[in-house]
């Protein structure tokens, strides 16, 4: 005997709602269709599952005995369906910011493989999203112990220039040494104390003597550019693609060494999306390890060397 799962689902709807009419409304069926399904299920099982009366419907003794098995059958069917749908859905990728380097990695992956991707932009703390399955992979900076089940590999090292006013003494330079930033103030509102990027800039400040000023509310990129463009003293870290174009702001490269932001690719070990191994392989194939002339905070260095990549 083969059970009709649609009939089993209808039986559960009647039990949960207590009435054939309400179950029919929930299932988008007529009451007659619900009755036929229940009758067919009872015929297949050769038992009466429901007591019918003017006040509603309740399970019989056989119906009560069948109920937990019916719920288990539907649960397994729903899980199987969800698994197959998950395999066909786009790969959900948290890039943290659409103007950061990971978006270039994802675009190159998409163009090389034509895998369907869904771009997600968060504000960090993506371990919960990875564990819960709301995203398949995420880019970010992690230096502490990884949460249980989270895997990672080095993804890319993003050079960080500075933005200054055309009236700033460094504005006519094509590049400046990191050591020349000592004593300058980098205004970076929104660099909250518990964020992964704020910690990065604390290391940068401690090593090179540049002051990070995170004061003030975040009114958006235009406000930052207006403030930097009007100041002959302030600088900020970032690229011109991260902020709106401003006629009074120029980008200056930082060298000797060049600060680079360490992006990792993270995923949960239980994730079985069929395109995940393709993305991991793509990232590993294009990654270039930390090299002489680049600066990283000390906690980031072990993973981003060639040896660290091999161990990862």
Q: Is residue 204 part of a domain?
A: yes
User: Residue 179 domain-assigned?
Assistant: yes
166 and 247 assigned to the same domain: yes
Q: Tell me how far apart the alpha carbons of residues 102 and 283 are, in angstroms, rounded to a whole number.
A: 10
Q: Indicate whether 138 and 269 sit together in one domain.
A: yes
The pLDDT score that the predictor gives to residue 308 is 59
- 143 and 283 share a domain? yes
Helix (H) / strand (E) containing 41: helix 31-45
Domain identity same for 268 and 153? yes
Domain boundary among 215, 240, 259: 259
pLDDT at 307: 64
242 and 165, same structural domain?
Answer: yes
CB 62 within 8 A of CB 48: yes
Give the orientation angle of helix 276-286 with respect to helix 102-113, to 10 degrees: 120
- The radius of gyration of the chain's CA atoms, rounded to the nearest angstrom, is 29
Instruction: Let me know whether 148 and 270 are in one domain.
Output: yes
Pairwise CA distance, residues 199 & 281, whole Å: 29
Range of the domain at 34: 5-88
Closest C-alpha among 9, 267, 4 to residue 152: 267
Look at residue 100 and tell me if it is in a domain.
yes
Task: Per-residue pLDDT tens, the chain, 312 aa: give them.
Answer: 678 999 999 999 999 999 999 999 989 999 999 999 999 999 999 999 999 998 899 999 999 999 999 999 999 988 777 766 666 689 999 998 888 899 999 999 999 998 999 998 876 657 778 888 889 999 999 878 888 999 999 999 999 999 999 999 999 999 999 999 999 999 999 887 778 889 999 999 999 999 999 998 889 999 999 999 999 999 999 998 999 999 999 999 999 999 999 999 999 999 989 899 999 999 999 999 999 999 999 999 999 987 655 444
Give the CATH number for residue 211.
Answer: 3.40.190.10
Residues 239, 171: one domain?
yes
* pLDDT confidence of residue 124: 62
Q: Rounded to 5 degrees, what are φ and ψ at 12?
A: -65, -40
Q: 148, 125, 147: which is closest to 135 by C-alpha?
A: 125
**CATH number of the domain that 16 lies in?**
1.10.10.10
Q: Are residues 212 and 146 in the same domain?
A: no
Residue 299 has what pLDDT? 93
Establish if 303 belongs to a structural domain. Answer: no
* Residues 84, 227 within the same domain: no
Q: Tell me: do 120 and 107 sit in the same domain.
A: yes
Residue 306 resides in a domain:
no
Q: In terms of domains, do 120 and 188 share one?
A: no
30 within domain boundaries: yes
Q: How many domains does the chain have?
A: 3
**Domain's final residue, options 68, 88, 108:** 88
Instruction: Let me know if residue 301 belongs to a domain.
Output: no
Give the pLDDT of residue 78.
84
Q: Are residues 98 and 83 in the same domain?
A: no
In a domain, residue 249? The reply is yes
Among 161, 159, 186, which Cα is nearest to 175's?
Answer: 161
Domain limit, last residue, from 238, 259, 280: 259
């Amino acid at each position: 005997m083969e059970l009709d799962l649609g009939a089993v689902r209808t039986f559960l709807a009647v039990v949960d709602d207590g009435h054939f009419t309400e179950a029919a409304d929930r299932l988008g069926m007529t009451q007659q269709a619900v009755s036929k399904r229940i009758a067919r299920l009872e015929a297949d099982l050769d038992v009466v599952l429901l007591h019918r009366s003017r006040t509603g419907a309740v399970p019989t003794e056989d119906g009560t005995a069948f109920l937990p098995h019916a719920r288990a059958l539907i649960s397994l069917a729903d899980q199987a369906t969800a698994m197959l749908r998950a395999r066909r859905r786009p790969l959900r990728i948290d890039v943290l910011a659409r103007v950061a380097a990971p978006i270039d990695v994802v675009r190159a992956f998409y163009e090389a493989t034509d895998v369907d991707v869904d771009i997600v932009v968060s504000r960090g703390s993506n371990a919960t999203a990875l564990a819960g399955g709301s995203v398949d992979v995420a880019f970010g900076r992690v230096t502490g112990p990884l949460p249980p089940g989270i895997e990672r590999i080095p993804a890319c090292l993003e050079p960080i220039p500075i933005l200054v006013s055309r009236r700033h003494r460094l504005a006519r330079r094509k590049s400046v040494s990191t050591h020349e930033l000592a004593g300058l103030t980098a205004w970076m509102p929104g660099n909250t104390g518990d964020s992964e990027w704020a910690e990065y800039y604390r290391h940068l400040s401690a090593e090179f003597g540049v002051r990070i000023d995170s004061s003030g509310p975040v009114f958006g990129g235009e406000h930052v550019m207006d403030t930097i463009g009007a100041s002959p003293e302030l600088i900020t870290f970032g690229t011109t693609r991260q902020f709106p174009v401003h006629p009074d702001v120029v980008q200056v490269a930082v060298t000797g060494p060049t600060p680079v932001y360490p992006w990792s690719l993270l995923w949960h070990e239980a994730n079985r999306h069929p395109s995940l191994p393709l993305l991991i392989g793509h990232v590993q194939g294009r990654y270039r390890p930390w090299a002489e002339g680049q600066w990283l905070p000390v906690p980031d260095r072990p993973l981003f060397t060639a040896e660290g990549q091999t161990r990862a």
